[in-house]
Structure 1
Amino acid sequence: MTTFVLVHGSWLGGWAWERVAPGLRASGHTVLCPSLAPAEPGVGLRTHITEIVGLIDRHELTDVTLVGHSYGGMVITGAGHERPRRVRQLVYLDAFFPSPGQSAFGLQPRLRDACDAAAALRPEKEAWLIPPFGFETMGLTGADLEWVTARAKPMSRATHEEPLPDPGSGRPRPPATYIGCGGSPFFAGTAKTARRRGARLLTIEGAAHMASVTDPERVCAVLGRTG
Structure 2
Amino acid sequence: MATFVLVHGSWLGGWAWDRVAPRLRASGHTVLCPSLAPAGPGVGLRTHIAEIVALIDGHHLTDVVLVGHSYGGMVIAGAGNERPRHIRQLVYLDAFFPEPGQSAFDLQPVLRDACDAAATLRPERDAWLIPPFGFETMGLAATDLEWVTSLARPMARATHEEPLPDPPAQRPHPPETYIRCEASPFFADAAETALRRGARLLTVQDAGHMAPVTDYERLCPVLDRTS
TM-score of Structure 1 vs Structure 2, range by shorter chain = over 0.9
Q: How does 1:1-227 map to 2 (within 5 A)?
A: 1-123=1-123, 126-227=126-227
User: Following TM superposition, by how much is the alpha carbon of 1:124 offset from its aligned partner in structure 2, in angstroms?
Assistant: 6.1
- SS of 2:184's equivalent in the other structure is coil
Q: Deviations over 1:71-105 (max 9, x none)?
A: 00000000000000101110000000000000000
1:162 and 1:123 mapped to 2: Cα distance?
Answer: 26
Contact kept? 2:81, 2:168, Cα under 8 Å: no
TM-score with structure 1 setting the length: 0.98
Amino acid at match of 1:114: A
TM-score with structure 2 setting the length: 0.98
Q: Which runs of 5+ in 1 are unaligned?
A: none
Identity of aligned residues (%): 79
Question: Kindly tell me: are residues 124 and 146 of structure 1, through their superposed partners in 2, closer, same or farther at Cα, counting changes over 3 Å?
Answer: closer
1:154 and 1:175 mapped to 2: Cα distance?
Answer: 32
Q: Deviations over 1:106-131 (max 9, x none)?
A: 10000000000001122465111000
Amino acid at match of 1:120: T
Amino acid at match of 1:68: G
User: Following TM superposition, by how much is the alpha carbon of 1:141 offset from its aligned partner in structure 2, in angstroms?
Assistant: 2.8
Amino acid at match of 1:61: L
1:99 and 1:169 mapped to 2: Cα distance?
Answer: 15
1:41 and 1:181 mapped to 2: Cα distance?
Answer: 33
Q: Deviations over 1:21-61 (max 9, x none)?
A: 00000000000000000000110000000000000000000
Give the length in aligned residue pairs. Answer: 227
- SS of 2:85's equivalent in the other structure is coil
2:79 and 2:37 mapped to 1: Cα distance?
Answer: 15
1:163 and 1:139 mapped to 2: Cα distance?
Answer: 30
Q: Which runs of 5+ in 2 are unaligned?
A: none
Contact kept? 2:180, 2:201, Cα under 8 Å: yes
